[in-house]
Structure 1
């Protein structure tokens, strides 16, 4: 029997495991090695804080949901702890403020902010959802000048959107990551970050798998949300996403092309609706609502895909007759195939 790859270890924490009156103190103790927290004026209903953390080998990723609070990292904490890294904070919802001496930076929903833990700071979290990515200073010494230059600033380069997508997908798919994939993901993130901070030709080349994986994620989500639009095609996608035709063709090459991917996703969505016993819509209605305008063509393509007609799918449950391999590859799948064929830019980035 083939052994299932060991999943990456996820460490989860929640103040909901404590009584209301002890929740803030419990979280303060958990955060003590990094910063001191200021107790909110009113916490009669408790203090909600939870996070899920995992390590990619020198890259610590934490997905947070925390009630608004103030925090401070002091010189005393810097001396007492060995935490010497940069941290990227991705504000998924809410706002984040950070200040050091006379320099301050504000980040809103969707922003990425870079902060060095080697210096003291004061921060305020306003909102609920953040992702922090700790970058070990030794592992990332090869891009230290770029990281130091971006310290206490909101990242706003041309590739920031793709970096944001990569981080979001990485967090959302954390439970799917295996120990064997950690090195690939670590290298991919490192190369993408380097290209975002300094988009040189070499950095862009090394980041190609991560860039294309992020573009694929964005394009697939756009297609999913626009299946009902008959005009969904290459030109429509490129114009809407600001992506060139060449780039779009490249990221969908392994799927047999953009048009084939759209057709496959549409057929999958129609099959799901048609085989749902609680869905009483007409076959034609389901087809039209998923972007098919020619019923004859739809019926022929559906039968080619599933070996039975749309009417047969609608009249009886045929789930057992359909192959299970209908889901699209994840970002992890894409990276593991493409990145494994590339040589890392440097040993430090591996």
Structure 2
């Protein structure tokens, strides 16, 4: 275990995948700052209140916001030591220790720092073991609380992300730009859409549903090819394959019927715009030939 006290100009360090590959560090560290800051990981952005502790895995990317380093405390812990008390250590990255347990751990870190000059080598080993067990006791309730709190937040983020997709059906959708606009990381965006079969599948279903709405509209004067092109289909055959696989008829036959209710006889007509199913093979066609 390594303990450091830091007094320095405001810092906002980050750790990229390339840097991780270069240096190979894979230990953990606990950070206790006296000022509010945020941590961005591949799972999202987390606010860390002043005086709270955040836990970081050096084998995973992160970025911390700039904050004054006034008597900041860092405890470094080997991965094997953390794994001995918390076997699922890979899920700890970005965890914020909260509640009474978090306050107790913060007091423990401050006490170690205040008495670091009088702790001998033999005593240090015992304090290191005590610190590990205290970390295990504090991390478990914080993880459970974090998991419970993330459920409604993720649901709200998914609703916002779906609205974004539906409002951009006629524009090229770039995942990086979408994530940036929504204030999410790419991996967080992918995770949100996992129940929908992924971002691409959700987009495919919404574009096909929009095409079907246009074909149902008696005032629509555009050709089937023009409608398909407006919603990202590269050709008539591209649209026809995707539409037939989703709705059981070609766009031309569907339009000729003039009444989408006919599809309900003996066949699932698929979801209307805004009502989604988890998977749909049509997604394969919107993003390249099968």
TM-score by length of structure 2 reads: 0.45
TM-score by length of structure 1 reads: 0.37
Larger strand proportion, structure 1 or 2? 1
Larger C-alpha radius of gyration, 1 or 2? 2
Larger helix proportion, structure 1 or 2? 2
